[in-house]
Each structure stands twice: as C-alpha cells, then as structure tokens.
Structure 1
Amino acid sequence: MDGGPAAAGAPRAASAGRIGGIAAVLVAAILWGTTGTAATFAPGAGPLAIGAAALGIGGLLQGAVALPALRRQRVALRRRPGIVLAGALAVAVYPLAFYSSMHLAGVAIGTVVSLGSAPIASGLLERLLEGRRLGAWWTSAAALGIAGSAILCVSKMNDPAAPPGETVLGIGLGLVAGAAYALYSWCAYRLILGGVGRAAAMGSVFGLGGALLIPVLLITGAPLLESPGNFAVAAYMALVPMFLGYLLFGFGLTRIAPSAATTLTLCEPAVAAVLAVVIVGERLNPAAWAGLAMIALTLAILALAPHGPESERRPGAGGGHGRERRVRAGGD
C-alpha cells in the first residue's frame, strides 16, 4: 500500500528543494562574478580599500550572523586556534591580492587567474598536509592551468597598452589570491571535519578575517567616502556579493551536494570575464582568450573529473573529499 498524498508529495518537495538550492548557488556565483566590474565604478578608491571594505565589512557581518553558533561551539573552536587564525589570515590576504590583481592585470584576467588557480592550490595543500594522492586528472588540469596562465601573461606583455611589469605582478597576485582562497577553504573544512558546525566554522574564520581588514580599511578607505558613487560601490560589495552571496551559497549547500555546488560556481569566472568585456570595455586578443579558455577547462576538469581510488588519501591521513574544498558558508 502506498503512502497516499503525503508520500506522493515527498518527491515533489525534495525536487523543489533541490531546484531552490541550485538557484541559490547560481545567484550567489553570479553576484560574486560582478565584484571586479563593480570595483571599476569607484575609480578614486584603490584596490586595497575596495578589498578591505568588501570582506572587512562582509566578514564582520558573517561573524555577527553566526554569533549564536559561535557561542554554542566556542569550546570546540578554542581547541583549534591555529586553524582559525590561519584561515582568518588567508581571508584577510585574499581580497587585497584579488582586487590588486584585477587592478594591475585587468578584471577578466585577474578574476580568472585567481579563481582558476584556487583548485590547484587546494590540491597542493591536500597533498602536503593530508597526503592526498593527486592523480592523473589533477596533474592534467594543473598543467593546463599553468599553461593558460603563461599564455595570458605573454599575451598581455605583447599588448603595448599594458605595462609588462604590471601584468606579471597582477597575475602573480592572482596566484596569491588563489592560494589564500584555497587556504581559508581548507581551514574551514578542517574545522567542519573536526565537528564544528558550518556556521561557526565560517563565522569564526570570516569574522576574525574581517576584523583583521578593518585597520587596512581605516588607512586606505577615505576615498570611499569622497563621493556617493564610491560609497555605493563599497556598500554593494560588502552587503550583496560578500554577505548575501555567502548566505545564498550556504542555503544552497543545505539542499544540494557540495560537488554540485562547486560545478555550478564555474559560472563565476565566466560572468566576470563577460562583464569585463561588455561593461568595462576590456579588449582581449585571441591568445588571451585562448588562455582564459584553458583556465576555464581546468576548472571544468577539476569539478567533473571522476573521484576514484587514485584521489583517495592515504589511510589515516584524514580530511574531507576534494570535491568539498570550496567551502563558502552555511548552516549550523
């Protein structure tokens, strides 16, 4: 005997919940993809001010929202001060390097290099700290990503309108941003794996990281108050992509698997590149587009590659599955 209307409604409810989760993650990724273009609408503000405002204020707001969870799990967090501090330092470094990379190398290239290098840096962290075997898929993706970054660098250096030194430094800072992104994601995941709830893990890392950025904001942020436009950009960055975007992603993670969420966020660098060309007016030569395509393919390989025995960690190495390394935010 079937369960009647209630049983029939359960699959529909599950399907609706999954669709809601997919929509939330997609909207979050699109919002994140707007940050580089939004920063160009505050030309009087430097990248350090923009980055400090975005994640400084956004991080503090995340910490404030997570206060109940932080109180409940303060004992567990106190047992792991090193991981919390390392994650917070990475959160503080990430926006400074990310927005500086876009300022020097351009929105499209800075964004794609930063996001494209993060999964590679995550793999290296997991190999060094947890003994994870990287396997042929990861090696192929890493080689493709490195080649794509090199092509981007050469293509920009051959552009007479782009100072070669700035391009190289911008791409280098993009790699730093990718490493910082990977580190704070790894730290948050280790906290979650150790029994700390997702809200408390992300609230501690982002809240402390945001606090570390406030002195940078106080030193560099005066231009953000010089015009309503600059202030609006700072408010948008902090409240919409950094705060609302993370909340949406966390909502999505309660309804779809982290691996599915990771795949959906591949639209973030695509959105950033399209907006940079269409709105900012950046022009990329064919070689640069080829480099961007190679990095996009790197992300696709890492997200969609099979995760069989070759990607497992050694017995006793601990750690979570590689597909879950892009931890953003979420529930308790």
Structure 2
Amino acid sequence: MRAAPLRPLLYISLAATSWGSAGAAAALLYRTSGLGPVAVSCWRFAIGAVLLLAGRAFLAPAVGNGRARPIALVATGVLMAVFQTGYLAAVAFAGLSVGTAVALGAGPVFTALGARLVFSERVGRRGALIILLALSGLALLAFGADARAGGTEPLWGFLCALASAAGSAAINLLTQAEARRGRAGQPYDRALAGFAVGAVCLLVTATPSGALLPADGDVATSIALLGYLGAIPTALAYALFFSALMAVRATTVSVVMMLEPVAALFLGVTLLGERLTPATAAGSAVLLCAVMLLAKQESLTP
C-alpha cells in the first residue's frame, strides 16, 4: 500500500486541530459577547463564505464530477447550518469535551446506518458490533455527564450534539447520492455555497431570536474571536481539507480527524476548566475507539 504524502497529512492534521478549537472559541464567545449559538454560527458562516470566495482562485482544486444541482446546494447549506449550530449549542449546554465527542462520534455511526437504509449498503456482523459499541459510548456520555463537567444542561447538550451528528450524516449521504448521479460538482464550491446558504438561513433565524452583535463584556475580544472562528477553523481549515482530499484516502482522513475531539478535550480541560467525570471519560474513549474501528473496516471493504 502506498504511503500517504506528508504535506496532505499535515494539511488534514492542521484542519482537524483547528476544528477542535472552534468549540473553545465559541465557548469563550458565550462568556464574553452575549451571543448565542445561532448568532455565532451565523457570523462563522458569513466570514467563512467571504474568505472562501476570496481565496477560491488560489485554493480551490480543479476536481469534481458534473455540475451540482442548485437544490442540492441549498439543501447542503441548510444541513450545514443544522450541523454547525447544533454543535455550538451542544458546547454551550454540555461543555466542549462532551459536546464534541458526541457530535463527532455519532456522525460516522449515523452515516453508516443511513447508508444501509438509503443505499442498501451492508453493515455486516462486525459493523453491527461496532455500532453497538458506539451506542454504548453515547449512553455513557448521555447518562454520565453532569453540569459540573462543563455545561449547564447536559441532556439538552447531548440532544443538540445528536442533531449536529444527524446533520453531518445527512450531508455525507446527500453528497454521496449526488456523486452517484455524477452531479457532485467541485468540493470547494460545494462548501462555499453551503456556507453562503447557511449564513442566510442563520441570519433569518438569528435576527428574531436574540442579539446578533456583541454587546456585553469586551467587544474587541468578541470581534477578534468571531474573526478567528470564521478565518481559521472555517475558511482555512476547509481549504486545507479539500486540498488534502485530492491526495489522501478517505479512510486515512477519518483516522487523522480523531485529532479534532482530542484537541477539543485538551482545550476544554486546560483552557475552559471543564471536568470530565469517569463516565464521560470512558464514554469518549469508547466512542472514539468505535469510530476508529469503523474507519478500519471501511479500509478493508472493497
């Protein structure tokens, strides 16, 4: 088997690590700005879309099949809004460590189950056992988290994280369905359109639901955090990610992406002062092991 090139692996590692910092930046924003998850997501999408558009001529890889359908791009944007806002809400309610572990760990499991229902892909006995292992990890996280672990409403945070994972899985299934039709389009443009559509959807939702501009605390710090959130874990990370996808196998990507929850866990404990209970620590470990086993199985599937 040919070894993966070093530069694309570095790109993916940087993208995963920066994605892990997105929840920490959002958690700090909740404390300093008075903004909620919908408003923070709206700014993240808008800034990311502008920067991705500005860098398209230099960063977008010229690959893709067919021309993406407008309805699919709109659906992708709506699902991205659900995915990202659900994740940031999970961080607000359950804490960075638990919210990230559930949202990112449940995504591949939902994708595998959805592929079985939509595309009749076989799960197999081994796959079923891995999914049961992942569900066990999710149960530990759901019933083992408490408010002292970093959030004020762990159950709501768990549910928001599941909604985020469902949105992520739906994006994966929709993209795969479009690719089978030869209408997936260019990945970079798909992300750009998704962020643009998502920003509009979130703007409509955020305007009546609460403050859209930082009002409390240090406004300059809040603006800097919003800029970081839109530039680094959004525009730059997605540009690096799509560039790397051209040279690295999807299974390799899924394993390297485990850096994201590890980074979130580290930042949650060290930067935000979160405390992991034994149950949440065990649940995170079980869930991540299940995802790695799922990735290994995918690498062995012809």
Fold match by TM threshold 0.5: yes
2:163 to 149, 171, 176: 176
Shift of 1:232: 0.8
Q: Indicate whether 1:156 and 2:145 are aligned.
A: yes
Shift in CA distance, 19/229, structure 1 to aligned 2, threshold 3 Å: same
Return the alpha-carbon distance in structure 1 between the equivalents of residues 134 and 42 of structure 2. Answer: 28
Q: Which has the larger radius of gyration?
A: 1
Q: Are the equivalent residues in 1 in contact too, given 2:23–2:264 (CA < 8 A)?
A: yes
Return the alpha-carbon distance in structure 1 between the equivalents of residues 57 and 243 of structure 2. Answer: 17
Shift of 1:119: 0.3
Shift in CA distance, 214/102, structure 1 to aligned 2, threshold 3 Å: same
1:76 corresponds to: 67
Shift of 1:26: 0.3
Q: Indicate whether 1:287 and 2:284 are aligned.
A: no
2:212 corresponds to: 221
Q: Indicate whether 1:197 and 2:186 are aligned.
A: yes
Q: Indicate whether 1:245 and 2:232 are aligned.
A: no
2:38 to 48, 52, 56: 48
1:305 corresponds to: 297
Shift in CA distance, 221/112, structure 1 to aligned 2, threshold 3 Å: same
- 1:177 aligned partner, one-letter code: S
2:247 to 245, 255, 258: 255
SS of residue matched to 1:213:
helix
Shift of 1:112: 0.6
- Bigger CA drift: 46-55 or 273-282? 46-55
- Bigger CA drift: 82-91 or 171-180? 82-91
Shift in CA distance, 160/145, structure 1 to aligned 2, threshold 3 Å: closer
Shift of 1:224: 6.4
1:147 to 136, 141, 158: 136
Q: Indicate whether 1:117 and 2:109 are aligned.
A: no
Q: Are the equivalent residues in 2 in contact too, given 1:67–1:203 (CA < 8 A)?
A: no
Q: Are the equivalent residues in 2 in contact too, given 1:89–1:209 (CA < 8 A)?
A: yes
Question: Size of the alignment, in residue pairs?
Answer: 290
Gap runs ≥5 in structure 2: none
Return the alpha-carbon distance in structure 2 between the equivalents of residues 290 and 278 of structure 1. Answer: 19
SS of residue matched to 2:122:
coil
Shift of 1:67: 8.2
Moved over 6 A (4+): none
Shift of 1:291: 0.9
Return the alpha-carbon distance in structure 1 between the equivalents of residues 172 and 57 of structure 2. Answer: 20
Q: Are the equivalent residues in 2 in contact too, given 1:52–1:95 (CA < 8 A)?
A: no
- 2:169 aligned partner, one-letter code: A
Indicate the percent of aligned positions where both proteins have the same amino acid.
25
* Pairing 1:34-45 to 2, within 5 Å after superposition: 34-42=21-29, 43=31, 44-45=34-35
- 1:299 aligned partner, one-letter code: V
Q: Indicate whether 1:270 and 2:259 are aligned.
A: no
1:23 corresponds to: 10
Return the alpha-carbon distance in structure 2 between the equivalents of residues 125 and 62 of structure 1. Answer: 30
RMSD: 2.9
2:120 to 127, 131, 136: 131
Return the alpha-carbon distance in structure 1 between the equivalents of residues 156 and 172 of structure 2. Answer: 24
- 1:19 aligned partner, one-letter code: L
- 1:206 aligned partner, one-letter code: F
Return the alpha-carbon distance in structure 2 between the equivalents of residues 125 and 247 of structure 1. Answer: 27
Gap runs ≥5 in structure 1: 1-13, 313-332
Return the alpha-carbon distance in structure 2 between the equivalents of residues 101 and 189 of structure 1. Answer: 27
Q: Are the equivalent residues in 2 in contact too, given 1:33–1:272 (CA < 8 A)?
A: yes
- Bigger CA drift: 225-234 or 124-133? 225-234
Per-residue CA deviations over 1:208-244 (Å, capped at 9, x if unaligned) read 2233223345553222696001111111000110110
Return the alpha-carbon distance in structure 2 between the equivalents of residues 224 and 29 of structure 1. Answer: 31
Per-residue CA deviations over 1:91-139 (Å, capped at 9, x if unaligned) read 1111211111111111100011000010011112212221111122332
Q: Are the equivalent residues in 2 in contact too, given 1:25–1:264 (CA < 8 A)?
A: yes
- Bigger CA drift: 180-189 or 114-123? 180-189
- 2:158 aligned partner, one-letter code: I
Return the alpha-carbon distance in structure 2 between the equivalents of residues 143 and 280 of structure 1. Answer: 32
